[in-house]
């Protein structure tokens, strides 16, 4: 696990997959407890593109029936949050009257999950919960905190395991942090 260069930046190892794997197992265990006997089939909403790796790893560990829906939102330009969230692709399925579990790669300011929650409410979702692989509590200013968190991290820019820098690095199995040097 050495440094990687993506576009014009170098990233150093930060979180090995073994630690990611443990965090996903814990989140999956909690989700199995909460949803196994919930009385209906929930919708798991994958927020593309970043959450697809976490989402795929997570759902293979769940032992309850679910439907899978996706949505695509964009909020980053380079290493900075753009401050605004725009929808690039609508929900791929119906969420009206359904319990929805939003699966995100990372929650930092909370702007994206607030927008997703608003969109789900408009679409008639009965209940919305948020599950994220990574959470940055130091910069969270949102009104919708995540219900399930894999790992909390400082406000560092990270790539790998679905997270990108200018669309590069999503395929890295481990998570890397931008090297300040």
Six-digit token pair at 13? 């190892």
Integer Cα distance of 103 and 58 in angstroms:
9
Helix (H) or strand (E) holding 68: strand 67-77
pLDDT on residue 136 = 97
Cβ atoms 101, 131 nearer than 8 A: yes
> What's the CATH architecture for 16-75+87-156?
3-Layer(aba) Sandwich (3.40)
pLDDT on residue 147 = 98
Binned average pLDDT, 10 residues per bin, the chain of 181 residues = 92 98 98 93 94 97 96 66 61 93 95 91 96 97 95 96 94 94 52
pLDDT on residue 74 = 73
pLDDT on residue 29 = 98
Domain boundaries defined on the chain: 16-75+87-156
Please name every residue paired with 134 in a beta bridge, in sequence order, or none if there are none.
106, 151
pLDDT on residue 90 = 73
Phi-psi sector, 127: left (phi>0), alpha (psi -120 to 50), beta: beta
Question: Looking at 7, 37, 108, 164, which residue is catalytic?
Answer: 108
Reduced to 3 states, what is the DSSP secondary structure of residue 23? helix
179 assigned to active site:
no
Q: How many CB atoms sit inside 10 A of residue 103's CB? A: 26
């Amino acid at each position: 696990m050495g440094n990687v260069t993506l576009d014009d930046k170098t990233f150093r190892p930060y979180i090995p997959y073994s630690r990611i794997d443990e965090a996903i197992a814990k989140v999956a265990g909690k989700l199995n407890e909460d949803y196994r006997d919930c009385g209906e089939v929930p919708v798991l909403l994958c927020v593309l593109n970043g959450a697809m790796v976490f989402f795929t790893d997570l759902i293979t560990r769940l032992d309850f029936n679910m439907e899978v829906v996706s949505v695509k939102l964009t909020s980053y330009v380079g290493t900075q949050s753009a401050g605004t969230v725009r929808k690039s692709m609508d929900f791929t399925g119906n969420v009206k009257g359904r319990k929805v579990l939003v699966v995100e790669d990372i929650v930092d300011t909370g702007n994206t999950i607030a927008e997703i929650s608003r969109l789900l409410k408009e679409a008639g979702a009965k209940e919305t919960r948020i599950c994220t692989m990574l959470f940055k509590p130091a910069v969270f200013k949102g009104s919708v905190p995540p219900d399930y968190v894999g790992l909390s991290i400082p406000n560092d820019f990270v790539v790998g395991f679905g997270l990108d820098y200018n669309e590069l690095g999503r395929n890295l199995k481990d998570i890397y942090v931008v090297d300040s040097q």
